[in-house]
Amino acid sequence: MINVANNKVLGPIIQERFEEGQRKGRNEGQQALLQHMLIEKFGFLPEWAAKRLRAASEDELTLWAKRIIHAKTFEETLL
């Protein structure tokens, strides 16, 4: 059986796609968790906040997850 991952041409492409999928999955998971946290803390999720979550980078999501602990408003958390 041929292991395509060891192929000099296809291997790097497969690895890159795999890592890209992992990053996307982590980002989506962080978005969902932060959304649940925001709803739990503030009772609802304004559309502007939902848009910010969908467009956020992994670093932004991590920062916002830390901010939500002490924040009193959506703005304090997401801006």
- Asked if pLDDT for residue 2 goes beyond 80, the answer is no
Q: Give how far Cα 26 sits from Cα of 46, 52, 72, Å.
A: 23, 17, 26
- Asked if pLDDT for residue 47 goes beyond 90, the answer is yes
* Cα gap 11→25, rounded to integer Å: 21
Any idea which residue has 């962080």 for tokens?
30
pLDDT tens track for 66-78: 999 999 999 999 9
* Cα gap 61→28, rounded to integer Å: 10
Amino acid at 29: G
Q: Are 57 and 30 in contact (CB under 8 A)?
A: no
